Structure 1
Amino acid sequence: MTVSAVSFQRWLDDVAPGTSHAAVCHAAGIKRSTLAQQLGRGRVTVATVVAVSRSRQLPVVESLSVFPDYRDLAEGTASPTDAELLSQISDMDLLREILARSAAADSGTDPAEIKLSPIPHRASVRTWLDAIGPPDLRQQLSRSAGIAPQNLSAQIWANRLTPALALRSARISGVGRANGLVATGLITPGEAGWLPGSRAEALRKTANSALVALAAERMDALSRTLRRREQDAAAAQKVWENLG
């Protein structure tokens, strides 16, 4: 998703008055040519807004809320649900937790605390969407955004979701507006107001049976993903063989 170049320049004049584009880009780690191209097209990416905001040490969510399409972002900030927090724990970390608990039960000791992988993980978009519901969320999202279901599925399968779709998903589901931007990797949990250690706390209080059930769901989804990749690879190989 992008914001208009006019609104971006107005915002930039407010947060970095008198600062040249070259200086802004250097501080934000953006190529000067990249910003020039975006301004020339009349649209600036949300990632650019985030990078500039960070370089100016500004609250990212509040910065985004300046722009029309994100007006409700800051006021709609809310703590993630336990389901959302668990959705942002990788498959491997869930399995490690299960193994740690099992080993502790066998030895009669407390389970070792595992170090969680950073967000996003390789299926963080899909798991977040599954966590927030409703069951027909993807259908509602496709209809309301005017995006073909197959195009939406392609984004999710590739672990991508535009900021616009992430925000729309949060609106439909009634969860914190910024939470989807965390799942996509656009902003950090801290920038969205998530408490430090909240994922680990949600994991610790998840019952063994629920944890195993969640891991089983993840493994089933992973199996489908791997099967699809294998089928795609086999189809590509067949094409090459026919061409050869």
Structure 2
Amino acid sequence: MTVPAKLFQQWLRTVAGDTSQAAVCRSAGIKRSTLAQQLVRGRVSVATVAAVSRALNLPVVASLSTFPLFTDLATGIKAPTQAELLSQISDYDLLQEILNRQTQVEGALAPKPALLTSVPHRSSVRAWLDAVDVGELRQRVARDADMAPQNFSAQISANRLSAELAVATARIANVGLTNGLVATGFLSPTEAGWAPDARELALRQTANSALASLAAQRLEILGRLMRRNEDDRAAVQSIWENLG
């Protein structure tokens, strides 16, 4: 996903003042040649905008909102739903929470505080899409983006989703426009406007039965992926054996 180079340069002059592009690139961890190539092509990646914003201590969402495709991003911030928050908790953390609760019941121990791994996790995009799906969500997003469904599925399988598609999906699902950007790792929960410890609170508030059901769903999906990978490896091995 990109923004027009001309608009990027106008924005950079506004926020960086007299600071040279070279200095900005050093601070943002961007190669000068990379930015130069983007400017020559007339399109600058949103990742570059985000990196420069962080380097200048500017809110990333506010910076993106200055560009046409993201004008409603800042005003479209909404607190994530319970389902969205749980979607950004890894399979390991869900299972660990179930084990902790069972251990506490059996041993009459005090509850342990939830110590969650950072987002995104290895299936965060798929989990977020499942959490916000309002019915045929994937098909609607692919159709609106004029994208082949298999290409959209490939992004999901790779745990990737472009910023444009993440925001478009949030619009269709009527959830906070920055929430999908957390699932992709483009924004941190704090940058997206999520309350501190929101995931931990959502986990604590989830009933045992609901937590077990969610973990079972995740494990079923994981099992299917593992079987597919095993079948693929077996097919490759068979080809090599036939080749001699």
Q: TM-score per shorter chain, which class? A: over 0.9
Identity %: 61
Distance, in Å, in 2 between the alignment partners of 1:2 and 1:242 is 46
Match of 1:99 in 2: 99
Match of 1:10 in 2: 10
Match of 2:39 in 1: 39
TM-score when normalising by structure 1 = 0.98
Q: Give the counterpart letter for 2:137 in structure 1.
A: L
1:39-67, CA deviations, whole angstroms, 9 ceiling, x for partnerless residues? 11111111100000001101110000001
Counterparts in 2 of 1:90-239, with a 5 A limit?
A: 90-239=90-239
Query: 1:142, CA displacement in angstroms?
Result: 1.0
Distance, in Å, in 2 between the alignment partners of 1:125 and 1:69 is 21
Query: 1:218, CA displacement in angstroms?
Result: 0.2
1:134-163, CA deviations, whole angstroms, 9 ceiling, x for partnerless residues? 121001111111111111111001100000
Distance, in Å, in 2 between the alignment partners of 1:241 and 1:40 is 49
Q: Give the counterpart letter for 2:41 in structure 1.
A: R
TM-score when normalising by structure 2 = 0.98
Query: 1:18, CA displacement in angstroms?
Result: 1.9
Partner of 1:112, secondary structure, is: coil
Match of 1:78 in 2: 78
Partner of 1:44, secondary structure, is: strand
The RMSD of aligned alpha carbons is 1.0
Q: Give the counterpart letter for 1:29 in structure 2.
A: G
Partner of 1:104, secondary structure, is: helix
1:196-243, CA deviations, whole angstroms, 9 ceiling, x for partnerless residues? 100000000000000000000000010111111112222222333344
Distance, in Å, in 2 between the alignment partners of 1:242 and 1:133 is 44
Query: 1:19, CA displacement in angstroms?
Result: 1.8
Q: Give the counterpart letter for 2:237 in structure 1.
A: Q
Partner of 2:3, secondary structure, is: strand
Match of 2:87 in 1: 87
Structure 2: tracts of 5 or more residues without a match: none
Deviates most, 37-46 or 154-163: 37-46
Q: Give the counterpart letter for 2:215 in structure 1.
A: A
Query: 1:69, CA displacement in angstroms?
Result: 0.5
Q: Paired residues, what number?
A: 244
Match of 1:60 in 2: 60
Partner of 1:161, secondary structure, is: coil
Distance, in Å, in 1 between the alignment partners of 2:40 and 2:233 is 40
1:72-127, CA deviations, whole angstroms, 9 ceiling, x for partnerless residues? 10010011011100000000000000000000010112221231000000000000
Q: Give the counterpart letter for 1:204 in structure 2.
A: R
Distance, in Å, in 2 between the alignment partners of 1:9 and 1:137 is 36
Is 1:103–1:111's contact at 8 Å kept on the other side of the alignment?
Answer: no
Distance, in Å, in 2 between the alignment partners of 1:78 and 1:114 is 24
Q: Give the counterpart letter for 1:213 in structure 2.
A: S
